[in-house]
């Protein structure tokens, strides 16, 4: 099912891997979307920079605050992309053998790609909502959306842990 490229030790990417990478790129670009309107913002406008647990704003900044999340998202994108190359050093829940290593490596890499997409979606959502709040088109974060992100993040970790743990030789 999962195969290594001969004499390289590198896993082959399939269509699903390319889809996850494309989604990562698109969500990273979506994080930068509010910056297209940066020049139109008045220097006196306040941008939400922190939210409490209820999704209400409890910290404000100037328009340059809109750069923070895209830069952090870019750093996460690069970090996750780099870490995928070190899949042999991930901490797997079962002992690696010659029989299961390709399966575990594939799942480890896919877990990183799923987490990358989810975190970039979160950053894109936060930056875009902060911009909408600043221009008066929104009032707070949606607790439904934030709860959904949390459930998807924890659910992804659980699903991949179970899939790795249940693998039988």
Provide the pLDDT for residue 15. Answer: 94
pLDDT for the residue numbered 4: 52
pLDDT value of position 10: 62
What is residue 9's predicted lDDT score, i.e. its pLDDT?
A: 55
Two tokens at 35?
A: 């910056």
Q: What is the CA radius of gyration of the chain?
A: 19
Q: Mean pLDDT in each 10-residue stretch from start to end of the chain (169 residues)? A: 51 91 98 94 90 90 95 97 91 89 92 97 97 92 95 97 86
H or E segment and range at residue 80: helix 68-83
Token pair of 139 as six digits: 């009032």
Check residue 6 and give its pLDDT: 47
**Nearest CA-CA partner of 3 in 102, 104, 100:** 102
User: What is the domain partition of the chain in residue ranges?
Assistant: 8-165
Q: By the 8 A CB rule, do 55 and 126 touch?
A: no
What is the per-residue pLDDT for 55?
Answer: 85
Q: How far is CA 35 from CA 110, 115, 116, 139, 159, in A?
A: 30, 24, 21, 19, 36
For residues 162 and 86, what is the distance between their CA atoms, to the nearest angstrom? Answer: 21
Element (H, E) at 58: strand 57-61
């Amino acid at each position: 099912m999962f195969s290594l490229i001969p004499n390289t030790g590198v896993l082959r990417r399939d269509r699903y891997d390319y889809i996850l990478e494309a989604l990562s790129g698109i969500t990273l670009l979506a994080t930068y979307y509010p910056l297209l309107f940066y020049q139109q913002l008045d220097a006196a406008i306040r941008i939400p920079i922190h939210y409490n647990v209820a999704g209400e704003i409890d910290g404000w900044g100037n328009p340059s605050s809109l750069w923070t999340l895209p830069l952090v998202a870019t750093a996460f994108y690069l970090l996750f992309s780099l870490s995928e190359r070190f899949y042999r050093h991930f901490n797997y829940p079962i002992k690696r053998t010659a029989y299961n290593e390709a399966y575990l490596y594939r799942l480890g890499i896919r877990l990183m790609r799923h987490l990358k997409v989810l975190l970039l979606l979160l950053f894109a959502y936060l930056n875009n909502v902060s911009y909408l709040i600043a221009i008066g088109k929104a009032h707070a974060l949606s607790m439904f959306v934030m709860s959904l992100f949390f459930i998807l993040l924890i659910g992804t970790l659980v699903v991949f842990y179970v899939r790795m743990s249940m693998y039988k030789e």
